[in-house]
Structure 1
Amino acid sequence: MNENGSQGQAPVRVDTWIWSVRLAKTRSAASAACRGGHVKVNGVRVKPAHNVRPGDEVRVRLTEWERVVVVKDPIRKRVGAPVAEKCYEDNSPPPPKREPAAAVPLPVRDRGLGRPTKRDRRDIERLFGARDRRGH
């Protein structure tokens, strides 16, 4: 076994490999992505138990961004980010541009006024459209 967890060129489950190279935060998230049809190996949707080998192209969509990677080293154990980057060749398109969040003015209270009164709280809830405590 190598220092990065691989055992020669033996095949490894695709969900384990996706988790090992940090494309997914958890193994269960990688398995769920496979079951949901968000993982393709060489253009074919695969189940979590599908084996990957060096040279396979893996496409993973866990968010709105699809990652396209080519397997260099099929590892089984999760490794640090610098080592993980050496286990695949990243051919992903650039991530989509993020739109800045709309600036919502927050109500400002003067210092020293203490907790909001019931009237202040109702005004704040009306401003943000919050529901009352009973969920109505």
Structure 2
Amino acid sequence: MSEQGVRLDKWLWAARFFKTRSQASSAIDAGHVHLNGERAKPARSVKAGDSLRILNAGGEFIVTVLGLSEQRGPASVAQQLYAETEASAAARLLRATQAKLEPVFDHPDVRGRPTKKWRRQLHYFERKQQDD
């Protein structure tokens, strides 16, 4: 740990918000990470007490930096590097609940072209609709 600070992309990777440093760096460049309310660059230093707004696949996190680390360790250690605000945790929980309640319109077996069996079922359905 360093007294001056840690690179933002290294800290995000060490705190397990992103799987790789390059993913963290790309997210920062895309504007998905704000340091103390401002867009930052990957090399910007993070210090204890800084506020971060992070948007990743898990949702939007608003956290306060508690500790610094340049090394990725176990998840239990990574969780001690930051404290998420209560409002942020509640908002993520609300979004997750809403996502579960939304209807899903995609067919679960749709991955590209229809299979032969699925095509037969579609033709049967279409013929039945025309006969009615």
TM-score, structure 2 normalization: 0.71
Match runs of 1:1-136 below 5 Å: 6-7=1-2, 9-63=3-57, 65-91=59-85, 92-94=88-90, 95=92, 96=95, 97=97, 98-100=99-101, 102=104, 104=107, 120=117, 122-124=119-121
Gaps of 5+ in 2: 110-114, 125-132
Q: 1:125 to 1:79 in 2, by over 3 A?
A: farther
Which ranges in structure 1 are unaligned for 5 or more consecutive residues? Answer: 1-5, 107-117, 128-136
Task: Report which of the two has the higher share of helix.
Answer: 2
TM-fit CA distance, 1:40 = 0.6
Against the structure 1 CA distance between its residues 12 and 122, is the aligned structure 2 distance closer, same or farther, given a 3 Å change threshold? Answer: same
For 2:108 and 2:123, the matched residues in 1 are separated by 14
- TM-score, structure 1 length as denominator? 0.69
| % same residue | 34
Q: Which runs of 4+ in 1 moved over 3 A?
A: 100-106, 118-122, 124-127
RMSD over equivalenced CA pairs, Å: 2.7
In structure 2, distance between residues paired with 1:119 and 1:67? 44
Larger radius of gyration: 1
1:10·1:74 contact (CA, 8 Å) conserved in 2?
no
